[in-house]
């Protein structure tokens, strides 16, 4: 016999199911219950930096858009600080850096407005390129999927980003690049996420 390690086990994950909106975005489920739903304003009115919109669709292994997905975004402000005690510095009043994103039930299209994050401190040395951390849950996803959205116009920062460089297959790195467009004077980045198949998005075990 040996001594017993006394750690607890993490509670196992279960799918969020098709009705995740009831709990986390009841307005989208079709009813009004809370005074304030959480996660609708990521940056707040006082945030510095470039105002951007991010839009996309999550696609399954058959090539079809997923219409019942929920995404959560977690990002730094324009100076690279997260709104958290260990986030590296202070943030603007009202800057949350966190948001919830629900798809259109008919088309699967989703979008959110925020500010472009700055570079954040790297794990050991250097800096990480601007990115938004995404967490994806839906019916059929047993454990929420983590990925990162990078910006295709940040060529120099992306080239030295420690996480992008960790991806051995250079062809797969491009699945994490959102594509910049200008639409009626607004900056819109397109980021389609493929859960499976050709050009499958890179997902991380964080």
Partner 1 sequence: MTKNGEFYQRDRTWHPPAVTPDYKTSVTRSPQYSLISLQNSVSEVTGPVFGHNDIHALDNDLIHNYAQAGDAAIGERIILHGRVLDENHRPIPNTLVEVWQANAGGRYRHKKDTYLAPIDPNFGGCGRTLTDESGYYFFRTIKPGAYPWRNWVNNWRPAHIHVSIFGTAFAQRLITQCYFEGDPLIDKCPIVHTIPDAQARAQLVAALDMNASVPLDSIAYKFDIVLRGRRSTLFENRLEGN
Q: Give the interface with Fe ion as residue ranges (CB under 5 A).
A: 17
Q: Pairing state of beta strands 177-183 and 120-121?
A: unpaired
In 6-165, where do the E strands start and end?
A: 51-59, 70-75, 98-102, 109-115, 120-121, 127-128, 131-137, 145-151
- Cβ 15 to Fe ion, closest distance in Å? 9
Residue 118 binds which of partner 1, Fe ion, none (CB < 5-8 A, kind-dependent): none
Pairing verdict, β 127-128 and 193-194: unpaired
How many residues does the structure list for the chain?
206
CB of 28 to Fe ion, least distance (A): 16
Nearer to partner 1, 88 or 153 (CB): 88
Instruction: Name the one residue in this structure whose structure tokens are 């996420």.
Output: 193
Nearer to partner 1, 24 or 52 (CB): 24
Token pair recorded at residue 112: 């959110």
**Token pair for residue 190?**
């397109």
Query: CB-wise, 31 or 185, nearer to partner 1?
Result: 31
CB of 26 to Fe ion, least distance (A): 15
Which residue is nearest to Fe ion, using beta carbons?
Answer: 17
1 or 33, CB closer to partner 1?
33
- Tell me whether residue 55 or residue 161 sits nearer to partner 1 (CB atom): 161
Q: Nearest distance from residue 182's CB to partner 1, in Å?
A: 28
> CB of 179: closest distance to partner 1 in angstroms?
21
Token representation of residue 109:
């299209």
35 vs 170, beta carbon nearer partner 1:
35
Least distance to Fe ion from the beta carbon of 29, Å? 13
By three-state DSSP, how is residue 24 classified? helix
Tell me the C-alpha to C-alpha distance, in Å, between residue 12 and each of 9, 15, 204, 205. 8, 10, 18, 15
- Residue 184 interacts with, from Fe ion, partner 1, none (CB under 5-8 Å by kind): none
Cα distance between residue 190 and residue 178, in whole Å? 5
Q: CB under 5 to 8 A by kind: which of partner 1, Fe ion, none does 53 bind?
A: none
């Amino acid at each position: 016999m040996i001594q017993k390690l006394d750690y607890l086990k993490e509670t196992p994950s279960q799918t969020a199911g098709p009705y995740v909106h009831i709990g986390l975005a009841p307005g989208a489920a079709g009813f009004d219950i809370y005074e304030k739903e959480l996660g609708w304003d990521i940056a707040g009115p006082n945030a510095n930096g470039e105002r951007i919109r991010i839009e996309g669709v999550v696609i399954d292994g058959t090539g079809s858009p997923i219409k019942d997905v929920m995404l959560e975004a977690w990002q730094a402000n324009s100076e690279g600080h997260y709104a958290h005690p260990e986030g590296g510095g202070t943030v603007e009043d009202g800057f949350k850096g966190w948001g919830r994103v629900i798809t259109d039930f008919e088309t699967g299209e989703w979008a959110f407005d925020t500010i472009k994050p700055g570079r954040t401190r790297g794990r050991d040395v250097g800096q990480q390129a601007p990115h938004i951390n995404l967490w994806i849950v839906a019916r059929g996803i047993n454990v929420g999927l983590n990925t990162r959205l990078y910006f295709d116009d940040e060529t120099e920062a992306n080239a030295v980003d420690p996480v992008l460089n960790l991806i051995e297959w250079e062809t797969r790195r491009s699945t994490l690049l959102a594509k910049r467009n200008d639409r009626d004077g607004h900056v819109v980045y397109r980021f389609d996420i493929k859960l499976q198949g050709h050009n499958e998005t890179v997902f991380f075990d964080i």
